[in-house]
Amino acid sequence: MDRLTSAKIPASTANPSLYSFAVPSVAYGKSATWFYTTIAIVIALLVLEQSIYRYKKRHLPSDKWTIPLIGKFADSMSPSMESYKKQWNSGALSAVSVFNIFIVMASSNEYARKILNSPSYAEPALVHSGKQILLSENWVFLTGKDHVEYRRGLNALFTRKALGIYVAIQETITRKHLKNWLAEAAKTGAAQPIMMTARAMNMDTSLRVFCGNHLPEHAAREINEKYWAITQALELVNFPLALPGTKVYKAIQARKVALRWLELAAHNSKIAMANGAEPECMLDEWVQSLADPTYKGRKEFSDLEMAMVVFSFLFASQDAMSSGLIYGFQHLADHPEVMAKVKEEQERVRQGDYERPLSLETLAQMPYLQAVVKESMRVQPPVLMVPYKATKAFPITDDYTVPANSMVIPSFYNSLHDSSVYPDPESFTPERWLDPQGPANSNPKNYLVFGSGPHRCIGLEYATMNMTLVLATACAMMNWEHEVTPLSNTVEIIATCFPKDGCRLKLTPRAHS
């Protein structure tokens, strides 16, 4: 019995050992199951992502496969003209994907105009974070009848009477900044960087044209300084979440500051106009037009609504107009024969009186300078493209339909460099605009600098006038030469097409006989 008992003891004690060994075996099996299940799900999602991408792009030129999740995000961190040109030249329509946002790029004039003129299929989106930054209720995002009616009311801000008021403000501020440029050049004896100094001048001008003296000086400085964060955040592709430290987050904080001051300006303008003051800025013109008994549009706008309109105008003027102005300086410096003709025209128009204030009538007597401005923006368009969102399936061609909720982006560069319309398109030739019957003037549909359709830039006359006035005043006050740097001819693709901050000009006062 002892032997039987002793024989059973190992048998009974072996059972727990065998049992305890089985536990990790079962656990390992479950872990392996979850591991392989997770891998299978991930693979299935990746296959689904690639399948959806390929289904959406169909026959459009693009990569056969997209990088999982991020797509072309890495490439978009440092966009270049070369990469964009490669994309545009791959086909009239082409496709990319970024953060699973499907994007159709339109490079031909036909398809670019079709997008711009199809409000029932596509609406302006600017960029994926555009509504976060500019606010979704901003008028620029309105469509259809609402947009038409809103825009009709804003047309009063760009009448000839209104532009006549703005000219005096523009010239006063331009002369102040150019004097400061010359003083700094005399102090250092070195070539001056043009990018941020020209942008600061343009922002100062815009704020005073739009808000007059209803904005305190320190407020104008703060908006000027902070608005660059908004420009940087409105890149075509950016990290989409407004997390602290990101560009989008910083832009939202800058917008809050700017709107607070712009609301104050709108409030002060209403008070001034109610007290019988004469209009001295854009806000004043707006308030007065609303009080006109013959005005048939909407009569009431809150301070915030007026502030949002001015805020959107600041975006266009501070970015696109600044870019155009900087390239205007550079093009004249790089083409001294053109600069000489501009100065000859200035002498002829001004008749030796370089202190006499400019007017709309005076600017109209400068056709060559106007051709220079137009050609400068054609050669180097301030805005390369304007992102739209397909609100529903958009049959853009007979054999391709842009999927609903995709981004669809008309680019302007190819239209503005079409050799059949602009012979030798890369050359800077203002004379092409002086012949009314020439191909440039005979094909206005190609000149997409200010867009097309219902969302065409409402301030195009103001922007062109400001560039003409600044360059006319600069030619009267100073000479400048381009000190070429490694960055002189490179482009920074952000919200607009800025030159890299490497363009430097040697400035000297201009002596008049």
Contact by Cβ (8 Å): 369, 471:
yes
Tokens for 318?
């501070």
Going by C-alpha positions, the residue among 430, 418, 434, 413 that lies closest to residue 334 is 430
Going by C-alpha positions, the residue among 262, 370, 248, 278 that lies closest to residue 314 is 262
Tokens for 499?
């030159």
- DSSP 3-state of 247: helix
Going by C-alpha positions, the residue among 87, 93, 84, 89 that lies closest to residue 396 is 93
Angle between helices 195-211 and 282-291 (to 10 degrees): 30
Output phi, psi for 105, to 5 deg: -100, 130
List the beta strands (DSSP E) in 461-511. 478-483, 491-493, 497-499, 504-509
Q: Is 281 annotated as a binding residue?
A: no
The DSSP 8-state label assigned to residue 72 in this structure reads: T
Length of the chain: 513
| d(C-alpha 252, C-alpha 331), whole Å | 35
Handedness of CA 287, 292, 296, 299 (dihedral sign): positive
Q: How many helices (H) and strands (E) in the chain?
A: 19, 10
Output phi, psi for 38, to 5 deg: -60, -45
The DSSP annotation for 392-441 comes to: S-B--SSS--BPTT-EEEEB-HHHHT-TTTSSSTTS--GGGGS-TTSHHH
Buried b (16+ CB within 10 A) or exposed e, 399-413: ebbbbeebbbbbbbb
| d(C-alpha 380, C-alpha 383), whole Å | 9
Amino acid identity of residue 186, one-letter, is: A
- Report the DSSP pairing between strands 504-509 and 192-193: antiparallel
- DSSP 3-state of 508: strand
| d(C-alpha 156, C-alpha 350), whole Å | 30
Tokens for 86?
């490669």
- Report the DSSP pairing between strands 407-410 and 491-493: unpaired
- Report the DSSP pairing between strands 388-390 and 122-124: antiparallel
Going by C-alpha positions, the residue among 201, 167, 229 that lies closest to residue 329 is 201
User: Residues at the annotated binding site for heme?
Assistant: 457
User: Residues at the annotated binding site?
Assistant: 457
